[in-house]
Amino acid sequence: AGSSAGLTEEQKEFQKVALDFASKEMAPHMAEWDEKEIFPVETMRKAAQLGFGGIYVKPDVGGSGLSRLDTSIIFEALSTGCTSTTAYMSIHNMCVWMIDTFGNEEQRRRFCPSLCSMEKFASYCLTEPGSGSDAASLLTSAQRKGDTYVLNGSKAFISGGGDTDIYVVMCRTGGPGPKGISCLVLEKGTPGLSFGKKEKKVGWNSQPTRAVIFEDCVVPVGNRLGTEGQGFSIAMKGLNGGRINIASCSLGAAHASVLLAQEHLTVRKQFGEPLANNQYLQFRLAEMATRLVAARLMVRNAARALQDGREDAAVLCSMAKLFATDECFAVCNQALQMHGGYGYLKDYAVQQFVRDIRVHQILEGTNEVMRMIVARNLLQG
């Protein structure tokens, strides 16, 4: 079922550029990046030359100025070539958007151009060892001293941590709860900024993950995004888009897995005929394609709502993230099953899609938190 149905000519063009890039520059290296844990910096810079380093960032600081729907289409397409690398790019894009949207003119001009070109890379620092789902209870503290903040604490599971240049950090400048949180932008090389060991992960191996540690880091007040106490709101607004982005990466993985399953069913013979003649497997394939299309429509619907600033946008983003990441994982997992024993071999790409998208059900707000957000919205009437 066509992923380009209902798109404008311009959107079909972005999609084609992204699909071509995925098949030529990413797919041939996907297994190697995974196995050798390579962070493909040069490939991402090539993607940035196509405008994929700041997709929904304003053009005056080097962004592409595209819509949330355009962004979703691009990440879905790129993810068919390597889900892990695309997922990191989606986080990078979210960080640049946060600086572009909530930064002042000086901050925008200082940080955004080199991030949009991916000369520099960004990491989003919200989660801590003791606060994942309960992000508002974070403990990293920033104490005001004259025209600086002194930052202490640590962040966990930070994508790109240690290899990236810019850290968008949520920290406590005031009292407990969400109202006491501010957002600071830190540069690599700041004294007192250090990193934990590189984590060994099930998937997402083409991007490093480390703890980020702050020991008396001195950060200029001029590096604060927005006002004091606005940090949690900035973090959550960033995540609305981030949730659509990560759901879009799941769509690409599921799309690629359906194609792999389709091909395997045609080629593989059992009991004297191709698997494609088996009605049970035909029906499973039909279900997989149907679930993918349903998930895609939900994600694109949420992207439009966010773009239009509709008041139900946050809840639609949460629904789309919950539905698409769950359904697409099931689709990839079913595709693996259809490969039989071959599906469990690293020579076959389907197992990597399964490993890479498993974490999409956890990060950018676990799917349990998505259910909380949706339920709260429904019960508030």
Mean pLDDT for the stretch of residues 118-130: 98
User: What pLDDT sits at residue 72?
Assistant: 98
Mean pLDDT for the stretch of residues 90-103: 98
Architecture of the 232-380 domain? Up-down Bundle (1.20)
Domain extent listing, the chain: 9-121, 123-227, 232-380
- Structure-token pair, residue 319: 């629904």
- What is the C-alpha separation between 358 and 340, in angstroms, rounded? 20
Residue whose C-alpha is closest to residue 15's, from 79, 63, 65, 61: 79
Residues carrying an active site annotation: 364
Mean pLDDT for the stretch of residues 196-211: 98
Cα distances from 244 to residues 61, 78, 127, 309, 374, in angstroms, run 23, 14, 19, 14, 15
User: What pLDDT sits at residue 280?
Assistant: 98
DSSP code string of 136-183: GG---EEEEETTEEEEEEEEEEEETTTT-SEEEEEEESSSSSGGGEEE
- Structure-token pair, residue 195: 């990193």
The class of domain 123-227 in CATH terms is: mainly beta
User: What pLDDT sits at residue 381?
Assistant: 67
Q: Are 48 and 42 in contact (CB under 8 A)?
A: no
- What is the C-alpha separation between 94 and 41, in angstroms, rounded? 18
User: What pLDDT sits at residue 2?
Assistant: 79
| Side-chain-side CA neighbours of residue 132 (13 Å) | 12
Mean confidence (pLDDT) of the chain: 98
Q: For the whole prediction, is pTM greater than 0.85?
A: yes
- What is the C-alpha separation between 81 and 83, in angstroms, rounded? 7
User: What pLDDT sits at residue 89?
Assistant: 98
Quick: pLDDT tens for 255-308. 999 999 999 999 999 999 999 999 999 999 999 999 999 999 999 999 999 999
- What is the C-alpha separation between 365 and 358, in angstroms, rounded? 14
Assign 1 a pLDDT band (cuts: 50, 70, 90): low
User: What pLDDT sits at residue 276?
Assistant: 98
Mean pLDDT for the stretch of residues 203-229: 98
Q: Are 308 and 77 in contact (CB under 8 A)?
A: no
In this structure, which amino acid lies at residue 181? Answer: I
The matching CATH number, chosen from 1.10.540.10, 3.90.400.10, 1.20.210.10, 3.40.50.300, for 9-121 is: 1.10.540.10
